[in-house]
Structure 1
Amino acid sequence: MKQSTNKRYVFFTVLALLCVACTPLIGPHSPTAYENATSLKAETLVLLSKANLPYEQHQDEVAEVMLKAEKAYEFVNGVPNNQLSAKQWQILKDPEGDLLGKFFKRWRERGVLSKVLIDEYKKLTAEAFDQIICLEANKEKATDCLPEGR
Protein backbone atom coordinates (compact mmCIF):
# COMPACT_ATOMS: atom_id res chain seq x y z
CA MET A 1 0.00 0.00 0.00
CA LYS A 2 2.83 2.37 0.87
CA GLN A 3 4.50 1.73 -2.49
CA SER A 4 1.21 2.57 -4.26
CA THR A 5 0.99 5.87 -2.34
CA ASN A 6 4.56 6.72 -3.31
CA LYS A 7 3.82 5.97 -6.98
CA ARG A 8 0.77 8.24 -6.84
CA TYR A 9 2.83 10.98 -5.21
CA VAL A 10 5.50 10.69 -7.91
CA PHE A 11 2.86 10.59 -10.64
CA PHE A 12 1.08 13.73 -9.39
CA THR A 13 4.37 15.51 -8.81
CA VAL A 14 5.50 14.78 -12.37
CA LEU A 15 2.06 15.77 -13.68
CA ALA A 16 2.20 19.08 -11.78
CA LEU A 17 5.70 19.79 -13.10
CA LEU A 18 4.58 19.08 -16.66
CA CYS A 19 1.64 21.45 -16.25
CA VAL A 20 3.95 24.17 -14.92
CA ALA A 21 6.39 23.55 -17.75
CA CYS A 22 3.59 24.12 -20.27
CA THR A 23 2.51 27.40 -18.70
CA PRO A 24 3.44 30.38 -20.87
CA LEU A 25 6.20 32.57 -19.51
CA ILE A 26 4.48 35.75 -20.67
CA GLY A 27 0.92 36.85 -21.28
CA PRO A 28 -0.70 37.08 -24.71
CA HIS A 29 -0.31 40.04 -27.06
CA SER A 30 -2.60 42.92 -26.22
CA PRO A 31 -3.37 45.70 -28.69
CA THR A 32 -4.48 47.82 -25.72
CA ALA A 33 -1.13 47.40 -23.94
CA TYR A 34 0.68 48.22 -27.18
CA GLU A 35 -1.45 51.34 -27.69
CA ASN A 36 -0.91 52.42 -24.07
CA ALA A 37 2.86 52.18 -24.46
CA THR A 38 3.16 53.88 -27.86
CA SER A 39 0.85 56.78 -27.08
CA LEU A 40 2.30 57.34 -23.62
CA LYS A 41 5.83 57.32 -25.04
CA ALA A 42 5.00 60.19 -27.40
CA GLU A 43 3.17 62.15 -24.70
CA THR A 44 5.95 61.62 -22.17
CA LEU A 45 8.78 62.71 -24.46
CA VAL A 46 6.93 65.95 -25.25
CA LEU A 47 6.45 66.58 -21.53
CA LEU A 48 10.11 65.88 -20.70
CA SER A 49 11.09 68.60 -23.15
CA LYS A 50 9.21 71.11 -20.98
CA ALA A 51 11.35 70.46 -17.90
CA ASN A 52 13.44 73.55 -18.63
CA LEU A 53 10.37 75.48 -17.45
CA PRO A 54 9.12 75.64 -13.84
CA TYR A 55 7.61 72.39 -12.61
CA GLU A 56 4.59 74.21 -11.19
CA GLN A 57 3.53 75.16 -14.73
CA HIS A 58 3.37 71.49 -15.72
CA GLN A 59 2.57 69.59 -12.53
CA ASP A 60 -0.92 68.68 -13.75
CA GLU A 61 0.56 67.22 -16.96
CA VAL A 62 3.09 65.26 -14.87
CA ALA A 63 0.31 63.91 -12.68
CA GLU A 64 -1.67 62.92 -15.79
CA VAL A 65 1.29 61.09 -17.36
CA MET A 66 2.06 59.27 -14.12
CA LEU A 67 -1.61 58.29 -13.80
CA LYS A 68 -1.54 56.90 -17.34
CA ALA A 69 1.66 54.98 -16.52
CA GLU A 70 -0.02 53.58 -13.41
CA LYS A 71 -3.06 52.55 -15.46
CA ALA A 72 -0.82 50.90 -18.07
CA TYR A 73 0.98 49.02 -15.27
CA GLU A 74 -2.31 47.90 -13.71
CA PHE A 75 -3.58 46.75 -17.10
CA VAL A 76 -0.59 44.52 -17.87
CA ASN A 77 -0.32 43.40 -14.26
CA GLY A 78 -3.90 42.08 -14.49
CA VAL A 79 -3.07 39.80 -17.42
CA PRO A 80 -2.15 36.26 -16.30
CA ASN A 81 1.52 35.31 -16.76
CA ASN A 82 2.49 38.88 -17.60
CA GLN A 83 4.97 39.59 -14.81
CA LEU A 84 7.75 40.64 -17.19
CA SER A 85 5.63 43.37 -18.77
CA ALA A 86 4.41 44.54 -15.37
CA LYS A 87 7.99 44.69 -14.08
CA GLN A 88 9.01 46.90 -17.01
CA TRP A 89 6.29 49.40 -16.11
CA GLN A 90 7.28 49.29 -12.43
CA ILE A 91 10.87 50.13 -13.34
CA LEU A 92 9.77 52.96 -15.64
CA LYS A 93 7.59 54.71 -13.06
CA ASP A 94 9.68 54.08 -9.93
CA PRO A 95 10.55 57.45 -8.27
CA GLU A 96 13.66 55.85 -6.77
CA GLY A 97 14.79 54.31 -10.06
CA ASP A 98 16.60 55.96 -12.93
CA LEU A 99 13.80 56.59 -15.39
CA LEU A 100 10.54 58.49 -15.60
CA GLY A 101 9.58 58.45 -11.92
CA LYS A 102 12.95 59.82 -10.86
CA PHE A 103 12.95 62.45 -13.61
CA PHE A 104 9.64 63.87 -12.42
CA LYS A 105 10.80 63.72 -8.81
CA ARG A 106 13.95 65.69 -9.69
CA TRP A 107 11.97 68.22 -11.70
CA ARG A 108 9.60 68.75 -8.76
CA GLU A 109 12.50 69.13 -6.28
CA ARG A 110 14.65 71.42 -8.45
CA GLY A 111 11.95 73.45 -10.16
CA VAL A 112 13.69 73.42 -13.56
CA LEU A 113 16.21 71.05 -15.15
CA SER A 114 19.14 71.56 -17.49
CA LYS A 115 18.99 70.72 -21.18
CA VAL A 116 21.75 68.13 -20.71
CA LEU A 117 19.78 66.29 -18.02
CA ILE A 118 16.55 66.54 -20.01
CA ASP A 119 18.21 65.14 -23.14
CA GLU A 120 19.78 62.26 -21.22
CA TYR A 121 16.48 61.31 -19.56
CA LYS A 122 14.62 61.61 -22.86
CA LYS A 123 17.05 59.10 -24.36
CA LEU A 124 16.76 56.70 -21.41
CA THR A 125 12.98 57.03 -21.26
CA ALA A 126 12.59 56.49 -25.01
CA GLU A 127 14.72 53.34 -24.77
CA ALA A 128 12.66 52.06 -21.83
CA PHE A 129 9.43 52.62 -23.74
CA ASP A 130 10.98 50.94 -26.78
CA GLN A 131 11.70 47.87 -24.64
CA ILE A 132 8.10 47.79 -23.41
CA ILE A 133 6.77 48.25 -26.96
CA CYS A 134 9.13 45.64 -28.35
CA LEU A 135 8.13 43.06 -25.76
CA GLU A 136 4.45 43.63 -26.52
CA ALA A 137 5.04 43.46 -30.28
CA ASN A 138 6.97 40.20 -29.89
CA LYS A 139 4.06 38.57 -28.08
CA GLU A 140 2.15 38.65 -31.36
CA LYS A 141 4.96 37.61 -33.70
CA ALA A 142 8.75 37.64 -33.62
CA THR A 143 9.80 41.19 -34.40
CA ASP A 144 13.22 42.71 -34.83
CA CYS A 145 12.28 45.95 -33.12
CA LEU A 146 15.46 46.87 -31.29
CA PRO A 147 18.28 48.82 -32.90
CA GLU A 148 21.25 46.82 -34.15
CA GLY A 149 24.06 46.36 -31.67
CA ARG A 150 21.84 45.63 -28.70
Structure 2
Amino acid sequence: MKYIKQLSIILLFSSLFLSCNSLKTAVYDQYSYQKTVEIKVETSNLIDKATLPYGKHLKEIGELGIEIQKIIEYEKNKPNNEITYAMWQVLANKDKNLLVGFFKRWKEKGQLKPFFIKEAKSQIIEAMDLLLKYEAKKDKETKDKLLQLITN
Protein backbone atom coordinates (compact mmCIF):
# COMPACT_ATOMS: atom_id res chain seq x y z
CA MET A 1 0.00 0.00 0.00
CA LYS A 2 2.81 2.38 0.86
CA TYR A 3 4.42 1.62 -2.50
CA ILE A 4 1.21 2.48 -4.38
CA LYS A 5 0.89 5.77 -2.49
CA GLN A 6 4.48 6.74 -3.33
CA LEU A 7 4.00 5.73 -6.95
CA SER A 8 0.81 7.81 -7.13
CA ILE A 9 2.59 10.86 -5.74
CA ILE A 10 5.47 10.43 -8.20
CA LEU A 11 3.04 10.07 -11.11
CA LEU A 12 1.08 13.13 -9.99
CA PHE A 13 4.17 15.33 -9.79
CA SER A 14 5.51 13.96 -13.05
CA SER A 15 2.29 14.69 -14.88
CA LEU A 16 2.11 18.19 -13.41
CA PHE A 17 5.69 18.86 -14.45
CA LEU A 18 5.14 17.55 -17.97
CA SER A 19 1.89 19.44 -18.43
CA CYS A 20 3.55 22.69 -17.38
CA ASN A 21 6.44 22.13 -19.76
CA SER A 22 4.11 21.48 -22.67
CA LEU A 23 2.47 24.88 -22.14
CA LYS A 24 5.68 26.89 -22.23
CA THR A 25 4.99 30.38 -23.41
CA ALA A 26 6.96 33.46 -22.54
CA VAL A 27 5.37 35.43 -19.75
CA TYR A 28 4.02 38.95 -20.21
CA ASP A 29 6.85 41.37 -20.81
CA GLN A 30 6.24 45.08 -20.21
CA TYR A 31 9.24 46.07 -22.32
CA SER A 32 8.06 44.03 -25.32
CA TYR A 33 4.59 45.48 -25.03
CA GLN A 34 5.85 49.07 -24.69
CA LYS A 35 8.32 48.80 -27.60
CA THR A 36 5.67 47.24 -29.83
CA VAL A 37 3.30 50.12 -29.03
CA GLU A 38 6.04 52.65 -29.80
CA ILE A 39 6.91 50.97 -33.09
CA LYS A 40 3.22 50.73 -34.01
CA VAL A 41 2.69 54.46 -33.43
CA GLU A 42 5.86 55.42 -35.31
CA THR A 43 4.89 53.07 -38.15
CA SER A 44 1.39 54.48 -38.40
CA ASN A 45 2.68 58.06 -38.55
CA LEU A 46 5.31 57.19 -41.13
CA ILE A 47 2.92 55.23 -43.35
CA ASP A 48 0.70 58.31 -43.55
CA LYS A 49 3.63 60.17 -45.14
CA ALA A 50 4.02 57.67 -48.00
CA THR A 51 2.16 59.98 -50.42
CA LEU A 52 5.31 62.12 -50.28
CA PRO A 53 8.67 61.18 -51.83
CA TYR A 54 10.48 58.37 -50.03
CA GLY A 55 13.75 60.32 -49.97
CA LYS A 56 12.27 63.01 -47.74
CA HIS A 57 11.80 60.48 -44.94
CA LEU A 58 15.02 58.46 -45.08
CA LYS A 59 16.08 59.43 -41.56
CA GLU A 60 12.73 58.45 -40.02
CA ILE A 61 12.60 55.19 -41.97
CA GLY A 62 16.16 54.36 -40.93
CA GLU A 63 15.43 55.07 -37.28
CA LEU A 64 12.33 52.87 -37.41
CA GLY A 65 14.38 50.13 -39.04
CA ILE A 66 16.87 50.24 -36.17
CA GLU A 67 14.05 50.01 -33.61
CA ILE A 68 12.67 46.97 -35.44
CA GLN A 69 16.11 45.33 -35.43
CA LYS A 70 16.42 45.98 -31.70
CA ILE A 71 13.06 44.43 -30.83
CA ILE A 72 13.80 41.41 -33.03
CA GLU A 73 17.09 40.85 -31.24
CA TYR A 74 15.39 41.25 -27.86
CA GLU A 75 12.57 38.85 -28.74
CA LYS A 76 14.96 36.29 -30.21
CA ASN A 77 16.74 35.85 -26.91
CA LYS A 78 13.72 35.49 -24.62
CA PRO A 79 12.99 31.91 -23.57
CA ASN A 80 9.79 30.27 -24.87
CA ASN A 81 9.16 33.17 -27.21
CA GLU A 82 9.18 31.53 -30.62
CA ILE A 83 5.80 32.90 -31.73
CA THR A 84 6.49 36.56 -30.96
CA TYR A 85 9.94 36.29 -32.50
CA ALA A 86 8.53 34.64 -35.63
CA MET A 87 5.90 37.37 -35.96
CA TRP A 88 8.54 40.09 -35.76
CA GLN A 89 10.47 38.28 -38.47
CA VAL A 90 7.37 38.32 -40.67
CA LEU A 91 6.85 42.03 -40.02
CA ALA A 92 10.51 42.69 -40.86
CA ASN A 93 10.55 40.57 -44.02
CA LYS A 94 10.97 42.90 -47.00
CA ASP A 95 9.41 40.29 -49.30
CA LYS A 96 6.15 40.13 -47.32
CA ASN A 97 3.36 42.65 -47.65
CA LEU A 98 3.63 43.93 -44.12
CA LEU A 99 5.83 46.43 -42.33
CA VAL A 100 9.25 46.36 -44.00
CA GLY A 101 7.70 45.20 -47.27
CA PHE A 102 5.64 48.40 -47.29
CA PHE A 103 8.76 50.54 -46.96
CA LYS A 104 10.47 48.55 -49.70
CA ARG A 105 7.55 49.23 -52.02
CA TRP A 106 7.54 52.92 -51.09
CA LYS A 107 11.24 53.09 -51.92
CA GLU A 108 10.72 51.36 -55.28
CA LYS A 109 7.75 53.54 -56.27
CA GLY A 110 9.06 56.81 -54.84
CA GLN A 111 5.66 57.60 -53.37
CA LEU A 112 2.41 55.70 -53.02
CA LYS A 113 -1.25 56.27 -53.79
CA PRO A 114 -3.61 57.07 -50.90
CA PHE A 115 -5.88 54.07 -51.53
CA PHE A 116 -2.89 51.70 -51.39
CA ILE A 117 -1.59 53.35 -48.24
CA LYS A 118 -4.96 53.02 -46.54
CA GLU A 119 -5.26 49.30 -47.29
CA ALA A 120 -1.65 48.50 -46.42
CA LYS A 121 -1.83 50.49 -43.21
CA SER A 122 -4.92 48.64 -42.02
CA GLN A 123 -3.20 45.27 -42.59
CA ILE A 124 0.02 46.31 -40.88
CA ILE A 125 -1.75 47.87 -37.89
CA GLU A 126 -4.02 44.83 -37.57
CA ALA A 127 -0.97 42.55 -37.45
CA MET A 128 0.69 44.73 -34.83
CA ASP A 129 -2.53 44.87 -32.78
CA LEU A 130 -2.64 41.09 -32.84
CA LEU A 131 0.95 40.98 -31.63
CA LEU A 132 0.06 43.38 -28.81
CA LYS A 133 -2.98 41.30 -27.81
CA TYR A 134 -0.85 38.19 -27.73
CA GLU A 135 1.76 39.86 -25.56
CA ALA A 136 -0.92 41.09 -23.17
CA LYS A 137 -3.01 37.90 -22.96
CA LYS A 138 -0.89 34.95 -24.11
CA ASP A 139 -4.17 33.14 -24.81
CA LYS A 140 -4.80 30.30 -27.24
CA GLU A 141 -7.14 32.25 -29.53
CA THR A 142 -4.64 35.06 -30.14
CA LYS A 143 -1.81 32.54 -30.43
CA ASP A 144 -3.71 30.64 -33.13
CA LYS A 145 -4.40 33.85 -35.08
CA LEU A 146 -0.74 34.80 -34.92
CA LEU A 147 0.33 31.35 -36.05
CA GLN A 148 -2.06 31.60 -38.98
CA LEU A 149 -0.61 34.97 -39.98
CA ILE A 150 2.95 33.69 -39.59
CA THR A 151 2.38 30.63 -41.78
CA ASN A 152 0.60 32.52 -44.60
Task: Note whether the superposition's TM-score is higher than 0.5.
Answer: yes
Distance 2:28 2:92 in 1: 22
Alignment partner of 1:52: what SS? coil
Alignment of 1:1-150 (within 5 A): 21-23=19-21, 24-139=23-138
Instruction: Give the gaps of 5 or more residues in structure 1.
Output: 1-14
Superposition RMSD in Å:
2.5
Using the alignment, how far apart are the partners of 2:42 and 2:112 within structure 1? 18
CA distance in 2, matches of 1:71, 1:110: 27
Question: Deviations along 1:74-119, whole A, 9 cap, x unmatched?
Answer: 1111100100000111111110011011100011111000001111
Report deviation, 1:128: 0.8
Alignment: residue pair count = 129
Deviation at 1:20, TM superposition (A): 6.0
Identity score, percent: 33
Give the distance between the partners of 1:85 and 1:104, measured in 2 at CA.
21
Question: For 1:108 and 1:137, how far apart are their aligned partners in 2?
Answer: 33
Work out the CA distance in 1 between the residues paired with 2:39 and 2:120.
15
Is residue 99–residue 124 contact of structure 1 (8 Å, CA) maintained in 2? yes
Structure 2: segments with no counterpart, 5+ residues: 1-13, 146-152
Distance 1:108 1:36 in 2: 25
Residues 34, 136 of structure 1: 8 Å contact kept: yes
| Partner Cα distance (1:95, 1:44) in 2 | 15
Q: Distance in 1 between matches of 2:115 and 2:53?
A: 16
Kindly indicate whether the alpha-carbon contact (under 8 Å) linking 1:137 and 1:143 is maintained by their aligned counterparts in 2: no
- After superposition, the C-alpha distances for 1:43-85 in whole angstroms (9 at most, x for unaligned) are 1100000000000000111111111111111111110010000
Whole-Å separation in 2 of the counterparts to 1:94 and 1:128? 13
In the superposition, the TM-score normalised over structure 2's length comes to 0.77
Q: Tell me if the contact between 1:134 and 1:143 (Cα under 8 Å) persists in the aligned partners.
A: no
Distance (whole Å) between structure 1 residues aligned to residue 95 and residue 59 of structure 2? 21
